[in-house]
C-alpha cells in the first residue's frame, strides 16, 4: 500500500436520500456487524491525509461510525446531489490548504487500497474509476482549483457528475473485478455482505 498523499482530502458522499433502501442513512447500515461507513473509512484513511463526510442533517448521527471526522453540509439547500457534496469537500479541502479531493460514495466499502495513487497517476487533472464495464464518476480525484467552476455549475442546476467531469477531460482508470460495488437495494447490500467474506 502506498503512503497517504498529504495533499488529498478523502470525502465520503453520504448525503443521498436512499429511496431504494427505504430512506435513511445507507452508510450506517450494518455490514459484518459494523456500520458500512466504518469499513469504508478504514479503507480510505490510509490513502489520504484527512477525511470528511459530506451529508445533510444532524452530524451527530455519524459520531459512532466516524468519531472526530468533519461532517460537511451541502452548500446549497434541497439535496442538490453528489456534485454539491464534492463542492463541500473542495471548500473544506481549500480551508485546510489541500489541493485535491478524493470522493467516494458512502455505500462503496470495497474500495481498493491503491485508489488514490492510481487516480493521481492518471494523465489528466480529473480522474474517475471504472470496473466491471461501468464508469463510476463519483469515485474520483479532483483538483480543488476547479471549485469555482463546480460552484457555478451546481448553482446553475448541473446534477450530472459525469457531464461536469467530462468538460474537464476526465481520465478513466480501470480496476479488475468490482471494487466499487455499492448498495442501492437490500439485495445489493446482501451482495456486499457476501463480498466482505
Stretch 21-48: mean pLDDT = 86
Alpha-helical segments (H) within 34-81: 36-44
Residue numbers belonging to the annotated binding site: 13-15, 26, 74, 107
Write out pLDDT tens, residues 84-121: 999 999 999 999 999 999 999 999 999 999 999 999 99
Minimum mean pLDDT range among 16-25, 58-67, 124-133, 146-155: 16-25
Span 5-195 CATH architecture: Alpha-Beta Complex (3.90)
Cα distance between the two ends of the chain: 21
Residue owning grid cell 483538483: 143
Residue numbers belonging to the annotated binding site for GTP: 13-15, 26, 74, 107
Residue owning grid cell 436520500: 17
Got the DSSP string for 150-163? HHHHHHTT---HHH
Residue 132 has pLDDT above 60, yes or no: yes
> What is the model's pTM?
0.91
Residue 188 has pLDDT above 70, yes or no: yes
Residue numbers belonging to the annotated binding site for Mg(2+): 107
Give residue 1's pLDDT: 47
Write out pLDDT tens, residues 53-67: 998 776 778 777 778
| Domain segments of the chain as ranges | 5-195
Amino acid at each position: 500500500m502506498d503512503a497517504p498523499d498529504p495533499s488529498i482530502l478523502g470525502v465520503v458522499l453520504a448525503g443521498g436520500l436512499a429511496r431504494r433502501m427505504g430512506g435513511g442513512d445507507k452508510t450506517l447500515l450494518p455490514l459484518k456487524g459494523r456500520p458500512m461507513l466504518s469499513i469504508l473509512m478504514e479503507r480510505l484513511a490510509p490513502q489520504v491525509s484527512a477525511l470528511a463526510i459530506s451529508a445533510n442533517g444532524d452530524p451527530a448521527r455519524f459520531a459512532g461510525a466516524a468519531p472526530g471526522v468533519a461532517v460537511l453540509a451541502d452548500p446549497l439547500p434541497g439535496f442538490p446531489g453528489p456534485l454539491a457534496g464534492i463542492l463541500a469537500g473542495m471548500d473544506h479541502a481549500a480551508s485546510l490548504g489541500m489541493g485535491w479531493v478524493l470522493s467516494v460514495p458512502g455505500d462503496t466499502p470495497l474500495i481498493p487500497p491503491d485508489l488514490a495513487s492510481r487516480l493521481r497517476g492518471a494523465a489528466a487533472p480529473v480522474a474517475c474509476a471504472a470496473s466491471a464495464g461501468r464508469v463510476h464518476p463519483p469515485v474520483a480525484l479532483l483538483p480543488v482549483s476547479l471549485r469555482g467552476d463546480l460552484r457555478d455549475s451546481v448553482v446553475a442546476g448541473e446534477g450530472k457528475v459525469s457531464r461536469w467531469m467530462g468538460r474537464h477531460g476526465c481520465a478513466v482508470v480501470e480496476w479488475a473485478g468490482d471494487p466499487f460495488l455499492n448498495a442501492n437495494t437490500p439485495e445489493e447490500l446482501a451482495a456486499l455482505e457476501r463480498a466482505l467474506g
